[in-house]
Amino acid sequence: MSARILDGNAIATRLRLEVAARVRARRAEGLRNPGLTMVLVGDDPASALYVRHKRRDCAEVDFNSNVVTLDSDTPQQQLLDIVEALNSDPSVDGILVQLPLPPHIESAAVLERIVPDKDVDGYHPYNIGRLALRQPVLRSCTPKGIMQLLEHTGIPIRGLDATVVGASNHVGRPMGLELLLAGCTVTTAHKFTRRLEDHVRTADVLVVATGRPGLIGGDWVKLDAIVIDVGITRDAAGKLLGDVEFESAASRAAWITPVPGGVGPMTRVALLQNTLYAADHFHR
């Protein structure tokens, strides 16, 4: 393997220390600790695990965190009412509704009910629109975390060719906008894309976010590319797999993220950064 590993755990640890230092500075200024409230609907084990990880992160940086836990059959209107109450709560700087929601609840309606200055996931159309207009405020967490991974490489990405595989509202689309803002020439590949391999082979920066393990052959990767694998899927044996064939890709890339331990920790630290930003800029 020739690629250097983009260790999201190590980088996120350093960034959490920076967040914690700013929280201490806020207290010295007489300001309260930032507050994050998470809403968990249903008993999905993966969602519950993610929320536990986020609460642990909050404790590490001295955020005030709370979890509102609801049954899986909670009516949509009840959830909307809870979001409205959190919108009005001056102690809450960030609201996170953990996805996925049960099928009877329209996710878009719930996410759009969060006021934009508490949308610390960066999913609200207002915040995506600000990014599209090159005036970002609260940025989608996974793309924000990935941009910090790219910065860690020390490689100037302005002018590079970037390919994003996957066009979801939460990762692929805002990721393309982030790379465009950074000065890359961006291609977004999706389920209708023809000749996917050709688009991958030209990418100096490759971001893959499809949830389809092994979709991208390692031998497709351009020599000395930066490879960011967002996908994480558990196989029948319980092993976690990414969307990129890791070993063969690592023999060609300059930098590559592991799965797990690459993008995931950076997504969580971006959530902390967004919440701190909201506390500092919107809710002082």
The sign of the torsion formed by the CA atoms of 72, 232, 274, 52 equals positive
Q: Are 220 and 201 in contact (CB under 8 A)?
A: yes
Distance CA 51, CA 40 (A): 8
Type of residue numbered 165:
V
98 in active site: yes
Q: What is the DSSP string of the chain?
A: --SEE--HHHHHHHHHHHHHHHHHHHHHTTPPPPEEEEEEES--HHHHHHHHHHHHHHHHTT-EEEEEEE-TT--HHHHHHHHHHHHT-TT-SEEEEPSSPPTTS-HHHHHHHS-GGG-TT--SHHHHHHHHTT--SSPPHHHHHHHHHHHHHT---TT-EEEEE---TTTHHHHHHHHHHTT-EEEEE-TT-S-HHHHHHT-SEEEE-SS-TT-B-GGGSPTT-EEEE---EE-TTS-EE-SB-HHHHHTT-SEE--SSSSHHHHHHHHHHHHHHHHHHHT--
In sequence order, what are the beta bridge partners of 5? Answer: 256
118 in active site: no
Catalytic site residue from 57, 93, 98, 144: 98
Distance CA 219, CA 212 (A): 17
Catalytic site residue from 121, 161, 204, 229: 121
273 in active site: no
Tokens found for residue 208: 């893959």
What residues are annotated to the active site? 54, 98, 121
